[in-house]
A and B are shown apart, each in its own frame.
Chain A
């Protein structure tokens, strides 16, 4: 889906509505409250009019009807208290509705994020994603629910006033046949013009956020090279762009309100002018003109309001568009409808004539067939950056094969649910990942039922238990945002511990232990061997012991699998493997 194609406004509204409509009852209540509140607000002046009449109605002695005044005063007090309660209830109700809508929208966006393919996160800046789930949704919220009720409630007023005006003088109403289309036309023109500006505004803010995220995260490096000044200069350019985009949107956007106001004032002038003519022709009374004007104010007030709201809605629309674009991203293809679960696989893996390329037309695996039995070790070797992780991507279905089939325990993996397939693997990646939670939570991540004893056991096996015990709260220590107090090696150990805790029969190791320091590595090697003992293992290997002990070695070069065999087999000919081996290990 291209970002360039712009979404239709009606399409956006059509997608926003369901969020509101989920709360039909509450919304109806809100509209009822608004109308009730309006009626009470109207009743107030009515009774104050009566009260004033009582003041005026004094008899010949010059006495005011004080008891009447008091009576109406009491009624008014009751009315006002009632209307206060009503309007408080309305506000509370609106808060409840809008918060529910927002909560829902955030959840939708987040849930979408959880099903997006890995590639999405490689292509998009985290800051921009964050900006969609926070500002954009906030912007939508600012107008959406409030404006909706406003519009709905004022429709009643508009219709009522129109009927009254037609009753008084159908001729004078013709004035509005000119001015209402005029203001609609103006609003349409202006918003049509400002729409791209508001879209640009949202996009620029997203860009700025992405930039800030990248720069502040990479600060340590920028400092090392004294790039503070240059970075600030770059930031200024982004900042200027963003501020300017804001200004331009507001510059043109700010025309709407005053323009519609102008049209309204124009219609008032026309009403009084034509009213005067009609009066001269004895077609209308002064009182009627005066009442007509009152109603026309009631009539145009909401229209004015709605026009203003439409101006405001511009930013909401652009924000909504960005949110919906994210929601429209293609998710990871869903499991086939008859997909089934495979839990506790034995660990036999078969690749049958597998073909694959990341880019269409550029095949890098040409008909690979492998038969791997439970407990066997597959070593994937090759120069740095040759694309050794491709096999892993296919095994775990981060990507799907273009041809052929991969089977686990004889089940084609495309027939399995992704979840159950992936749970059969434990995996240690090169990039360690820990989240803002306790050490325990981080290690037990993936094994819901793990107890503290289980966690301690694997931590001992990884040799990190002693270190964890030196942390302020031991296993309950909360890891910082960036795990800033914990070195890469310690993080690595924790992720290894996490993998050890999983009860799976297949293991994927991605150069993981290469970052762990040598001394701990010895312990880990031992622990790993126990761990690997009856597991089918795929190892992106750097270690001779792993490679020599491998049941099959896949040699990867420039993304393609160029050779396969055991160590002995591969060493027997003039192979690329032999070349590699001699360079690295000889």
Chain B
């Protein structure tokens, strides 16, 4: 919670002003019952109507004043809550945009999403409520105690003596509460995960008729979350009754002590009666303050989750380049003894060495999980290598400013993302590209025809590209990658849903129009990579063969096996004459 300080600081002037207005509203409101008792006790018995009218009008004026004051204060509080949330959410989202992949893996995507949404929402509510409740209650509490002090300091001390106990209870319980609310939040993450999985996997679930199973699965997380919520709330529930009890016992003590003091002639009965009235005010104020503490417990759990993200250092994102010159005659891309590890597993790629000249094509083939996609992630610096170095134009990629580095690439990932937006924006993706550029890219990607059928570039892409077929999605993604005239073009399994005819046309277009681009193609079909200048065959994170198609057919057992099965063996006869 302490870390919120800098976020709240800019609002201190506005909050103070709001507080002031609220104070006025509260004080005026408290004057109303006072005036009322004055009218009834002192004025009416006089039997004159005029003073009653004067004070009655004053009372109405006070009411008006309280009315406006409270509305204004509430509105100011809402405005502060709005601006605070806007800033916090902005910072959080921005931070997430720059987090390294490793950090994203650690926190997980669903949890990040819920931090931006549900946790900032809790913070919003808290900041609003704190301002609304945060003034009235303390004023009543402090005001009440001050008045009792003027009445009888000794009796006041007796009453106030209960406050430390109240404070301790509140403190201990709400600390425990904060911990419990954190557990609640993680339970809520699990619940949302199951719902998300069901939304995404609806076809499989329906095909396998697993709805009942999924309901069971949901019931488990739902019950679990409910249990956690209940535990947290139960814990907090102890505060109110105990607090009331303590204070009530305090007032009994006041009466008893008061009786002795009246006996001793140190105080009067009237003062004890006044004490009783003030006491109600103090108690209500304390209860309101406690409500704030409950809210704060919740908020501190959310705030911890938010700041965990905000305080994660940004890795792998350089804003400035760290090199002074580009060596001449360096290969375009060079992997030097690269070893790569993911946090959770063993090494994914070991001792990888290769060089590519500008305009060359590298094909990567190999078994599932052999480390093909890892090479791309390392090259684009989503993760840093564990050992060795990757160079582009002879400069270590760690020395580039990250945007400069990424600007070199046009890439289609496995299962790449499409966004709910126009077709134009999905291809353009925020870059400064003209419609002509986009048309050209779409044409090369064999996508123009279906784009026109979808209503041209202004046609909408539905959520998750649901209105496009698998092949259309892939072509749109390829168009996106080609549109920026990239220096390096990466296609990771980006034509699996294309038929052979479209696939070969696409390859030809790339060959003709992107001759200068260095291309890295990861594929399952040998036909997609057999013309590459260099082909890498991977198995279990290691390169077991490197060379041209012919060389590999001669030297690499695995490649030969793949080749035989695809070209000679007849599984995919289509490649026989390619």
Contacting pair B71 A217 (CB below 8 A): no
Report whether A224 and B195 are in contact in the complex, using a CB–CB cutoff of 8 Å. Answer: no
What are 22 pairs between A and B in contact, CB < 8 Å? A51-B255, A52-B269, A64-B259, A66-B260, A83-B248, A121-B199, A208-B117, A209-B113, A220-B382, A224-B380, A228-B94, A228-B97, A247-B81, A269-B63, A279-B44, A384-B475, A433-B200, A489-B367, A489-B524, A517-B524, A525-B571, A543-B571
B128 pairs with A250, CB closer than 8 A: yes
B570 touches A544 (CB 8 A): yes
Q: How far is the CA of A126 from the CA of B192 in the complex (A)?
A: 10
What mask results when residues 461 to 493 of chain A are scored 1 for a CB within 8 Å of chain B, else 0? 000000100001000000011101111111011
Q: Which of B97, B205, B382 touches A231 (beta carbons < 8 Å)? A: B97
Min distance, Cβ B275 to any Cβ of chain A, angstroms? 10
Determine if A52 and B255 form an interchain contact, defined as CB atoms under 8 angstroms apart: yes
**Selected contact of B124 from candidates A134, A246, A580, CB within 8 Å:** A246
Chain B residues positioned under 8 Å from A517 (CB to CB): 365-368, 370, 524
Using A56-B269, A80-B245 as known contacts, say yes or no to A385 and B420 having CB atoms under 8 A apart.
Answer: no
Q: Which candidate, B144-152, B512-520, B547-555, B559-567, is the interface stretch facing chain A?
A: B559-567
Q: Report A210 CB to chain B, min CB distance, Å.
A: 8
The interface stretch among A4-12, A70-78, A348-356, A563-571 is A70-78
Cross-interface CB contact of A385 among B66, B121, B419, B468, cutoff 8 Å = B468
| Chain A neighbourhood of B209, CB < 8 A | 418-419, 422-423
Partner-binding segment picked from B158-166, B173-181, B227-235, B386-394: B227-235
Instruction: Name which of B6-14, B328-336, B354-362, B491-499 contacts chain A.
Output: B491-499
The smallest beta-carbon distance between A395 and chain B, in angstroms, is 10
Cβ-closest 10 pairs across A and B:
A384-B471, A489-B368, A218-B417, A254-B74, A265-B63, A385-B469, A230-B430, A446-B208, A258-B70, A433-B201
B116 and A212 within 8 A (CB): yes
- Chain A residue numbers with a CB within 8 Å of B480 are 225
Known: A240-B86, A247-B78, A487-B369. A385 touches B526 (CB 8 A): no
Judged by a CB distance under 8 angstroms, whether B322 is at the interface is: no
Known: A66-B259, A480-B108. A87 touches B501 (CB 8 A): no
Contact check, A55 vs B208: say whether CB atoms are below 8 A apart.
no
Interface positions of A from 489 to 532, Cβ below 8 Å from B: 489-490, 492-493, 495, 502, 511, 514-522, 525
Quick one: given A44-B248, A239-B93, A261-B66, are A224 and B215 in contact (CB under 8 Å)?
Answer: no
A420 to B471, CA, bound (A): 32
A226 to B196, CA, bound (A): 27
Mark A77-96 against chain B: 1 for CB-CB distance below 8 A, else 0. Answer: 10011011101100110011
Does B53 touch A at the CB level, under 8 Å? yes
Taking the closest CB of chain B, its distance from the CB of A17, in whole angstroms, is 21
Stretch of A98-106, A298-306, A366-374 at the chain-chain interface: A98-106
How far is A481 from B209 in the complex, measured between Cα atoms in Å? 22
Query: Does B546 sit at the interface, judged by CB under 8 A?
Result: no
Cα(A212)–Cα(B89), bound, Å: 11
Scoring A95, A276, A518 by chain B CB atoms within 10 A of each residue's CB, the highest score goes to A518
Interface size class of B (residues with CB under 8 A): 35 or more
Let me know if A217 and B109 touch, CB within 8 A.
Answer: yes
> Is A313 an interface residue, CB under 8 A from the partner?
no
Contacts A58-B263, A84-B241, A480-B108 supplied; 4 other A-B pairs, CB < 8 Å: A133-B192, A243-B89, A422-B208, A585-B500
Which residues does chain A contribute within 8 Å of B117, judged by CB atoms?
Answer: 127, 131, 135, 205, 208-209, 212
From the candidates A219, A225, A481, name the one contacting B429 in the complex (CB within 8 A).
A225
Q: Are A383 and B44 in contact (CB under 8 A)?
A: no
Residue B139 interfacial (CB < 8 Å): no
With an 8 A cutoff between CB atoms, is B198 at the interface?
yes
The reply to whether B66 and A485 form a contact with Cβ atoms under 8 Å apart is no
Nearest chain B CB to A298 CB, angstrom units:
14
User: Mask for B440-479, Cβ within 8 A of A = 1, else 0?
Assistant: 0000000000100000000000111011111110010000
Given the known inter-chain contacts A224-B380, A446-B208, please indicate yes or no for A63 contacting B263, CB distance below 8 A.
Answer: yes
